[in-house]
Structure 1
Amino acid sequence: MDEIENLREKINNIDSKIALLLKERLASVQKIGDTKKSKNLPIIDIGREERILSTLDTDYEKEIFKIILSESRKHQV
């Protein structure tokens, strides 16, 4: 294997881990949504979202997490 193939294989492994973690996150998000509904709490918690985004260093990370947070809101409705 050449260097590019090795790096692509590494990326594939990372992508698989990310996908698995996103599925785990979604399961927790859905449970939180159910709890919020049963307690008549608002779905959106701007303070929490701001705290999450403030821990990230790069615009790259922030943009990805904005998408994750947006999708999470959709699955709590």
Structure 2
Amino acid sequence: MEYLEKLRSEIDDIDRELIKLFEKRIDIVLKIGDYKKNKNMEIFQEDREKQVLKNALSNLENTEYSEEIVRMLSCIMDISKDIQKEKI
């Protein structure tokens, strides 16, 4: 059981880091939303989303996680667009 608790503790630490990074990302998403609003731009930028996914996959060390990374980032980008829609 000690091993399992150690692993869970590591997950908790990673989750704390992910939350901090997510908050930073959303802060920037809101700034981007303001910019888009001021420039009368659409929130959804298909080319940018494709580039984000391409960049992520090129940074991925374990390519076995490719599908999961695409799913995760797509979800994050959907949340980001929703936040921009709500705040703009």
TM-score range, shorter chain: over 0.9
1:63 equivalent among 25, 47, 71: 71
What are the within-5 Å matches in structure 2 for residues 1-77 of structure 1? 2-55=2-55, 56=57, 57=63, 58-77=66-85
Q: Identify unmatched segments of 5+ residues in structure 1.
A: none
C-alpha deviation, 1:6, in angstroms: 0.6
Is 47-56 or 24-33 further displaced after alignment? Answer: 47-56
In structure 2, give the amino acid aligned to 1:69.
M
Structure with the higher helix share, 1 or 2: 2
C-alpha deviation, 1:10, in angstroms: 0.4
Aligned-partner SS, 2:48: helix
Give the share of equivalent positions with the same residue, in percent: 34
C-alpha deviation, 1:14, in angstroms: 0.1
Name the Cα RMSD after superposition.
Answer: 1.2
Aligned position for 2:60:
none
Q: Identify unmatched segments of 5+ residues in structure 2.
A: 58-62
TM-score, length of structure 1 as denominator length: 0.92
C-alpha deviation, 1:60, in angstroms: 0.8
